[in-house]
């Protein structure tokens, strides 16, 4: 993956930049020893690595503001980092950058059950937001697979989703307000505990902007009371086509499950091997979860299983206990680890209209044969967000490139059938160069105009989201102006 050539002028001024950063941060919050900056050389897209020039770990909004102001004055690019769990390379450094990690900012600032919100510092992990309110019966709804580790800052940057967003929405639907520091150090408050914007919806465009518009240091999040209960049903079918038709029928019947998860034959076997979830051996598997009281769950599951039966399931198992529910989910939630145990893999994230599922799965199967790389499919079927996992051998020369070529072909197919490149992981560096397949030059120009407004010098996470050739004039102009 091509990255911009590090700015030699910035590298030459490293000592001065470090000194200035040390003047505003505690000594242990500025990391410039090359041995230690290695810890920040990559995120969860581990195929690409580059140690940053410096890493800083501010603890307050004021410290973030000082760091950004200094970097702005010095013309140093800044790459914000949550917990480093991005699968798209969103937190991949450049050699001339300052990594700004929010890990030390993890306080709960305010919890308000009457108004149903929590305000946190954004270094706090997704799961520990729920952790702060669950003894009182509340939870924070978006639940990315990495929720044990991933930070709210990264969730906001990537507009993260999760298995349960069919009912509860993704980050942008659950974010009420932010404190954000702009690249020049200006602190702005956007939104709050109230709903919707009185002016332009800046919150809506900040969420999902991949750390390119500002560094969000505090967030007000909507919390909900936990449902009385939840229960999954497991269904096995002969083929992906049949499972896809069943999903469409469930949705058309007016039931809105909290989650509909799909796994194909390969993933079923790999996950079963790893998690012993007692999955049936079959062509495709659905996990459908509904919520409510016992009686409400019974009624919904009766409707759902009636629909499933019309599609001749080879297995149909309603969970009978909390233990069984946990086991049904254990396999699905372990999907990435399970496949990671047997192979290196690349996880794609394209979204397609659900009506196109059977066609796209068949085409992916054909591509798998063409490239000679195995692929497993697991995805959020209710909303068409696919996660094909392409296996490759990192130690075999050329295999990564082959895998990337395969992945690009799949994502182009997603766009072709009316979908998009990424449903919840973000563009980062991984899908940057495919953006021209989804968007025309004018579409990208409009997005870049927004970055111009928030970060005129293009110093915040500059080499992401947009194809390098497309953003080059802006990044180049910013450099030349120094």
User: Min. distance of Cβ 449 from another protein in angstroms?
Assistant: 4
Q: Which stretch binds another protein (CB under 8 A): 35-43, 56-64, 148-156, 220-228?
A: 220-228
Least distance in Å: CB of 421 to another protein?
A: 5
Q: Per rule CB under 8 A, is residue 446 in the interface with another protein?
A: yes
The closest alpha carbon to 153, from 94, 78, 80, belongs to 80
**CA–CA dist 448, 452 (Å, integer):** 6
Residue 239 and residue 283 in contact, taking contact as beta carbons nearer than 8 Å = yes
Lookup: tokens for 126: 């997704």
Minimum CB distance to another protein smaller for 254 or for 397: 254
Q: Does residue 355 bind another protein (CB under 8 A)?
A: yes
Q: Which of residues 289-318 bind another protein (CB under 8 A)?
A: 292-293, 295-296, 299-300
Told to check if 197 binds another protein by CB under 8 A, we report: yes
Beta carbon of residue 65, minimum distance to another protein (angstroms, whole number): 12
Q: By C-beta, is 148 or 302 nearer to another protein?
A: 302
The smaller minimum CB distance to another protein, of residues 200 and 481, is found at 200
* Structural tokens at position 189: 């408050």
Q: Which of 194, 145, 203 lies closest to 337 in space, CA to CA?
A: 145
| Two structure tokens written together for 454 | 């928030």
Does 426 interact with another protein (rule: CB under 8 A)? yes
Is there binding between residue 385 and another protein (CB under 8 A)? yes
Q: Is 421 in the site for another protein (CB under 8 A)?
A: yes
CA distances from 437 to 287, 406, 408, 427, 434 (A): 33, 15, 10, 13, 6
Angstrom CA distances, 117 to 176, 193, 205, stand at: 8, 7, 21
Tell whether residue 481 is a contact of another protein (CB under 8 A).
no
Residues in 238-277 at the binding interface with another protein, rule: CB under 8 A: 248-249, 251-256
CB atoms within 10 A of CB 46: 12
Residues 70-89 that bind another protein (CB under 8 A): none
| Dmax (CA) of the chain | 70
Beta-carbon contacts of residue 18 (< 8 Å; ≥ 6 apart) = 30, 32, 54
The region of 3-11, 39-47, 143-151, 226-234 touching another protein under the rule CB under 8 A is: 226-234
Residues 146-175 that bind another protein (CB under 8 A): 158-159, 161, 165, 169-170, 172-173
CB of 129 to another protein, least distance (A): 17
Asked if 214 and 184 count as a contact pair (C-beta separation under 8 A), the reply is: no
Residues 6+ apart with CB under 8 A from 121: 102, 105, 106, 107, 109, 217, 218
Report if residue 340 touches another protein, rule: CB under 8 A: no
Copy the structure tokens of residue 150. 């991933």
In the complex with another protein, the residue whose CB is nearer, 10 or 258, is 258
Give, as ranges, the residues between 97 and 156 that touch another protein (CB under 8 A). Answer: 112-117, 137-138
Pick one of 63, 344, 383, 433: the residue that binds another protein (CB under 8 A): 383
When binding is defined by CB under 8 A, the residue of 62, 402, 450, 468 that contacts another protein is 450
């Amino acid at each position: 993956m091509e990255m911009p050539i590090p700015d030699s002028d910035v590298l030459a001024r490293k000592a001065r930049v470090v000194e200035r950063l040390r003047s505003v941060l505690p000594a242990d919050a500025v990391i410039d020893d090359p041995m230690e900056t290695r810890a920040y050389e990559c995120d969860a897209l581990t195929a690409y690595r580059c140690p940053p020039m410096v890493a800083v770990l501010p603890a307050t909004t004021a410290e973030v503001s000082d760091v950004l102001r200094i970097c702005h004055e010095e013309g140093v690019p800044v790459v914000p980092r949550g917990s480093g769990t991005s699968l798209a390379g969103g937190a991949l450094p450049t050699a001339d950058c300052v990594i700004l990690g929010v890990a030390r900012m993890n306080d709960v600032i305010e919890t308000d059950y009457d108004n149903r919100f929590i305000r946190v510092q954004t270094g706090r992990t997704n799961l520990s937001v729920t952790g702060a309110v669950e003894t009182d019966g509340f939870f924070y709804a978006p639940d990315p697979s990495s929720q044990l580790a991933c930070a709210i800052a990264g969730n906001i940057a990537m507009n993260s989703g999760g298995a349960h967003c069919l009912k509860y929405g993704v980050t942008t639907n659950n974010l009420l307000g932010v404190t954000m520091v702009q690249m020049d150090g200006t602190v702005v408050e956007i939104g709050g505990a109230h709903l919707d914007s009185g002016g332009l919806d800046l919150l809506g465009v900040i969420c999902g902007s991949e750390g390119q518009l500002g560094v969000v240091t505090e967030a007000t999040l909507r919390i909900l009371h936990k449902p009385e209960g939840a229960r999954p049903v497991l269904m096995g079918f002969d083929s992906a086509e049949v499972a896809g038709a069943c999903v469409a029928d469930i949705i058309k019947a007016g039931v809105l499950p909290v989650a509909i998860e799909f796994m194909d034959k390969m993933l079923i076997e790999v996950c079963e091997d790893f998690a012993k979830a007692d999955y049936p051996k079959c062509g495709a598997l659905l996990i459908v979860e509904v919520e409510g009281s016992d009686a409400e769950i019974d009624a919904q599951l009766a409707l759902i299983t009636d629909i499933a039966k019309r599609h001749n399931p080879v297995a149909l198992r309603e969970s009978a206990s909390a233990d069984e529910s946990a086991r049904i989910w254990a396999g699905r939630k372990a999907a990435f680890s399970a496949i990671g145990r047997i192979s290196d893999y690349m996880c794609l994230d394209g979204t397609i209209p659900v009506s196109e599922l059977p066609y796209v799965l068949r085409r992916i199967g054909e591509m798998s044969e063409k490239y000679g790389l195995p692929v497993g499919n697991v995805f959020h079927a209710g909303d068409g967000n696919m996660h094909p996992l392409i296996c490759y051998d990192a130690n075999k020369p050329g295999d990564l490139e082959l895998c990337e070529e395969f992945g690009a072909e799949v994502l182009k197919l997603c766009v072709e059938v009316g979908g998009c490149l990424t449903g919840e992981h973000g563009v980062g560096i991984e899908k940057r160069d495919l953006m021209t397949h989804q968007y025309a030059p004018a579409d990208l120009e409009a997005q870049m105009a927004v970055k111009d407004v928030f970060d005129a010098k293009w110093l915040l996470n500059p080499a992401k989201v947009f194809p390098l050739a497309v953003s080059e004039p802006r990044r180049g102009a910013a450099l030349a102006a120094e």
